[in-house]
Amino acid sequence: MPGSGDNGRIVKRDVDSFVPGKAAPAAPAAAPAAGAPAPQVAAFAAIGEESFNEVPVSQMRKAIARRLSESKFQAPHFYLTMEINMDNAMAAREAINKISPAKVSFNDMVIKACAMALRQHPDVNSSWRGDVIRYNQHIHVGSAVAVDEGLIVPVIRFADQKSFSQIAAEAKSLADKAKNKKLQPNDYSGNTFTVSNLGMMGIESFTAIINSPDSAILAVGAIKEIVVADKGQFKTTNVMKVTLSCDHRTVDGAVGSRFLVTVKNFLENPVNMLV
């Protein structure tokens, strides 16, 4: 055991503090000497070879690509995001489904809220037609459905006039027809507004490309439980983020914002959609 004196010399205090049988402290690991060779790593041996598979583009995928490209690059998009408290909507849905002949989803409630908001904000229920802007008097809400070949948008016609259960039954019927490739052209045309919901996939928020010829599309995220402060106390609440994509040729920021506030008010107070 080295001493505490100069150059490890044992001095009186080392003798006085010596404890028989006590292990000496381990010496620190020596740093590798400068210029020492690096540890050898086994060489990587690739298994297999580079490969790929090419699949011909279907007519449906070509049509989707063409329409979305035209929309994205011709319509000047801007985006408005808002957080909506869904506590009342969750309670209302549970009560509705106790008596509804068709199971109502949150997406059905969003469709209804958008349809009623469009009634109050007709500028959003429009389309750019070059020399004119068309303001639609009817409200047909498209609801995006994912199928094997891509994305298709069945349309709920006159959605503002339909009940939750009527929207739910029609949306389910159209989604089933879409997945079974039984949609007719009239089922996925004529939309004046579109809702795209990825909440069931766990996506919290996203932006969507406007579904031409609409002026706007609402991207709906998942409902998430969060902790908030309320009058000095902490509590949990359920929120959902939505993002409105707008065509700036027809919808200005203030117009889109007012529409989104109305959607928020309907979803946070669902009873207002029943009167």
Catalytic residue numbers read 248, 252
Distance (Å, whole) CA 270 – CA 238? 15
| Rounded (5°) CA angle 164-168-170 | 120
Structure tokens at 56: 């011909």
Nearest to 242 by CA among 214, 266, 263: 263
Identify residue 82 by its one-letter amino acid code: M
Q: Are 225 and 201 in contact (CB under 8 A)?
A: no
The backbone torsions φ and ψ at residue 257, rounded to the nearest 5 degrees and listed phi first, read -65, -45
164-179 vs 106-120: helix crossing angle, rounded to 10: 120
β-pair partners for 80: 244
Nearest to 200 by CA among 219, 177, 221: 221
